[in-house]
């Protein structure tokens, strides 16, 4: 009896025809063979469909057409073909032509017209055609030979077979023909598809020759194994170990390129483990290799810092694609080898390993040819700070410590916290749970402090320039002392993070040093135009003494205070004018200015109470009197407000009669109405924005 299992197919290239004839009754073994054959043919059909999907593109047909016109064999090769079967996107397409690749590239660029950019690299016999969508690389088929002391090959023209033989790995040695008479034919002489299915990295030829000729291929083997999560074929892996020393002839820049690709993979620890196992790691990154191993004294050992580092790296990679945060994970404990000490009481210690590691980062980046720009500074910062949140977890969380952490980390605080959470890798689950609970407490504290004190990336409200101008100082130690005192006071919660508090502390610290302001005996004043007229602003060295519409009143106040009225600009006056401008533009609802005013005890209390009236709201004179503890003193309150020397900042315009009429206002009720209208307008506008 004849049974036709699979009729002959017309699949091109390696997908050969399949026709089997069985006679007689079939046993289980034969049935299994039939099923396996059906499965293989089904896979062939799937692969044929995958190829068709990726080469039936206008750009492919156009390249094939150009090659036919030039009578050139032309193939798409390498990563693009590999990624067809891995179902990965690929916008870079490599073409091999038998003959001049540059000639084909020029013709392709001419066919594409203005939308294509052609670059020719005659030294290497290659050319690139770039469009918005594609990068097309062209090279002529070639054979290569090498000198032992260089990875730069001696190149000769060759056949497609020669070109496939020189490829690094079987999965990269496949080619698909684009010529019309063989369009879509797959040439896979080393079973690259099989290796994709087996998920292995293997060289087409003797791996010792492959890696000795071009040692960078050892790094590429590790990189592909990491990216694709493949295994390296045992014979291939053993050859890497035998040839590891050859990596020394490869430039650091090329090694860095491969390391960056490893670091961007889903599980970068896989690459570092492979580099360690094959012997490449001590040659390219000895500072990481020395972290490996556990030393024991009196039965007490420490964790394997190499394996811990890789765990932290994968923890970071699981939540972030930021490759420089991943580098921070790799380097966060790099200082431990240099700081490891045995203490009979404490056991193994690594004191200050974060600071030592921070200092090592620039040298490591320089040696490995990683960028010495803001990326290096970012990694350096995180390495130096990575113990700080952990210390907060272990100790009581104080506002001061949180402020300092926010200040030092700046915009990188979130990444630092990601790194530190990834650093919790203890096998003691109770300890891990306790750390994580405290860690969440620290994170919430960071949010609360940042909302309240705004210290992330903050610059002290009073800077060195203002200190020098106020006291007539050149850059000097006293300037730095006063500036640091202000910063530390804010971070320690001694003063709030605002201009008024910082200015007062500046004056106090200068007084301690015996330093007096330039205008210590003056009221300096200036004028500024506003929507409610020209305002005069006067200030002593201690604070704002006058804001109003009449210069004569300012000079009268100066006389009362036994100070000279001097028309001049000072940093304090500049700050006041700036804040007034923000007020009139609707950008500021509260002022932060040091005030220097004198009056009776009742007046001072009344003026202080005025500063508590919210922007855009009003109270009556009776309400103000009640708040001062004497509801019957509304007349006295009105008189105190009338004598207020600092309009707007001390908002006496927000106090009106109980019947809703404006009541008195020293500068005039028109000014009072204008200020109330302005505040209402800005408040209503803001409310409208919030509703939207």
Residues with active-site annotation: 652
At 195, list the tokens: 């290796």
Angle between helices 323-331 and 374-385 (to 10 degrees): 50
> Could you tell me which of 235, 292, 224, 234 has the C-alpha nearest to residue 262?
224
CA distance linking residue 22 with residue 29, whole number of Å:
12
DSSP 305-336: HHHHHHHHHHHHHTT---HHHHHHHHHTTTTH
At 364, list the tokens: 């490591």
CA distance linking residue 419 with residue 410, whole number of Å:
15
What are the helix (H) ranges across 28-76? 28-55, 58-69
Question: What number of CA atoms fall less than 13 Å from residue 266's CA on the CB side?
Answer: 6
CA distance linking residue 662 with residue 222, whole number of Å:
81
User: What's CA 45's distance to the chain center, in Å?
Assistant: 45
Tell me the CA distances in angstroms from 196 to 171, 193, 533, one per residue in order: 7, 5, 80
At 144, list the tokens: 């290569």
Query: 676 with 618: CB under 8 angstroms?
Result: yes
Query: 313 with 269: CB under 8 angstroms?
Result: yes
DSSP 369-432: T---SHHHHHHHHHHHHTTHHHHHHHS---HHHHHHHHHHHGGGHHHHHHHHHHT---S-HHHH
Residues near 518 by beta carbon (within 8 Å), at least 6 away in sequence: 470, 471, 472
Q: Which secondary structure element, helix H or strand E, spans residue 349, and what is its range? A: strand 347-349
CA distance linking residue 546 with residue 535, whole number of Å:
10
CA distance linking residue 389 with residue 416, whole number of Å:
8
Query: 164 with 98: CB under 8 angstroms?
Result: no
Query: 628 with 609: CB under 8 angstroms?
Result: yes
What are the helix (H) ranges across 113-215? 160-165, 192-198, 207-213
Nearest-5° angle of CA 224, CA 266, CA 428?
Answer: 125
Q: Detail the DSSP E strand segments found in 98-230.
A: 117-121, 126-130, 135-140, 142-145, 154-157, 175-177, 186-187, 200-201
Note the residue count of the chain: 692
CA distance linking residue 364 with residue 44, whole number of Å:
49
> Could you tell me which of 426, 428, 412, 506 has the C-alpha nearest to residue 463?
506
Query: 547 with 647: CB under 8 angstroms?
Result: yes
């Amino acid at each position: 009896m004849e049974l036709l299992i699979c009729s002959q197919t017309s699949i091109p290239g390696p997908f050969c025809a399949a026709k089997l004839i069985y006679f007689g009754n079939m046993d289980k073994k034969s049935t299994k063979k039939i099923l396996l054959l059906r499965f293989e043919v089904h896979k062939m059909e799937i692969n044929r469909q995958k190829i068709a999907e990726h080469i039936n593109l206008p750009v492919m047909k156009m390249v094939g057409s150009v090659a036919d016109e030039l009578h050139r064999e032309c193939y798409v090769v390498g990563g693009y073909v590999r990624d067809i079967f891995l179902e990965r996107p690929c916008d870079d397409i490599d073409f091999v032509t038998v003959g001049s690749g540059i000639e084909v590239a020029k013709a392709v660029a001419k066919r594409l017209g203005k939308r294509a950019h052609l670059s020719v690299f005659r030294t290497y016999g290659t050319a690139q055609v770039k469009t918005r969508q594609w990068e097309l690389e062209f090279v002529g088929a070639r054979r290569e030979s090498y000198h032992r002391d260089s990875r730069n090959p001696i190149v000769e023209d060759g056949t497609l077979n020669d070109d496939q033989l020189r490829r690094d790995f079987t999965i990269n040695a496949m080619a698909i023909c684009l010529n019309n008479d063989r369009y879509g034919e797959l040439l896979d002489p080393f079973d690259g598809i099989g290796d994709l299915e087996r998920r292995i990295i293997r060289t087409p030829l003797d791996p010792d020759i492959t890696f000795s000729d071009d040692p960078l291929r050892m790094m590429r083997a590790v990189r592909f194994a990491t990216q694709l999560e493949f295994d390296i074929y045992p014979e291939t892996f053993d050859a890497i170990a035998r040839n590891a020393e050859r990596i020394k002839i490869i430039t650091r820049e090329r090694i860095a390129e491969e390391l960056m690709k490893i670091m961007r993979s889903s599980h970068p620890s896989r690459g570092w483990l492979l580099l360690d196992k094959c012997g490449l790691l001590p040659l390219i990154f000895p500072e990481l290799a020395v972290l490996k191993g556990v030393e024991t004294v009196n039965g007490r050992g420490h964790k394997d810092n190499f394996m811990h580092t890789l765990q932290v790296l994968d923890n970071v990679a699981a939540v972030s694609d930021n490759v420089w945060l991943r580098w921070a994970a790799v380097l966060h404990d790099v200082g431990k080898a240099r700081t490891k000490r045995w203490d009979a009481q404490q056991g193994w210690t690594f004191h200050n390993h974060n600071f030592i590691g921070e200092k090592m980062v620039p040298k490591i980046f320089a040696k490995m040819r990683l960028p010495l720009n803001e990326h290096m500074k970012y990694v350096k910062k995180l390495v130096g700070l990575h113990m700080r949140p952990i210390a907060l977890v272990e100790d009581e969380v104080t506002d001061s410590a949180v402020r300092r952490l926010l200040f030092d980390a700046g915009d990188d605080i979130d990444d630092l916290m990601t790194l530190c959470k990834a650093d919790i890798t203890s096998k003691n689950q109770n300890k891990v749970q306790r750390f994580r609970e405290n860690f969440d407490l620290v994170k919430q504290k960071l949010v609360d402090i940042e909302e309240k004190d705004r210290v992330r990336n903050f610059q002290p409200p009073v800077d060195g320039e203002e200190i020098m101008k106020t006291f007539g100082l050149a850059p000097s130690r006293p300037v730095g002392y006063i500036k640091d005192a202000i910063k530390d006071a804010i971070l320690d919660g001694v003063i709030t993070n605002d201009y008024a508090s910082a200015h007062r502390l500046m004056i106090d610290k200068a007084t301690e040093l015996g330093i007096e302001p330039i205008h210590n005996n003056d009221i300096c004043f200036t004028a500024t135009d506003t929507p409610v007229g020209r305002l005069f602003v006067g200030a002593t060295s201690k604070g704002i003494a006058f804001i109003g519409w009449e210069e004569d009143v300012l000079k009268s106040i100066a006389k009362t205070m036994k100070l000279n009225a001097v028309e001049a600009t000072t940093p304090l006056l500049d700050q006041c004018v700036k804040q007034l401008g923000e007020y009139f533009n609707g950008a500021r609802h509260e002022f932060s200015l040091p005030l220097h005013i004198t009056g009776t005890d009742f007046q001072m209390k009344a003026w202080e109470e005025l500063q508590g009236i919210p922007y855009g709201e009003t109270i009556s004179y009776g309400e103000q009197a009640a708040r001062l503890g004497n509801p019957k003193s509304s007349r006295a309150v009105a008189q105190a407000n009338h004598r207020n020397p600092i309009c707007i900042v001390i908002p006496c315009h927000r106090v009106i009669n109980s019947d809703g009429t404006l009541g008195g206002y020293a500068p005039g009720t028109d000014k009072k109405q204008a200020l109330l209208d302005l505040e209402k307008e800005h408040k209503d506008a803001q409310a409208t924005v919030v509703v939207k």
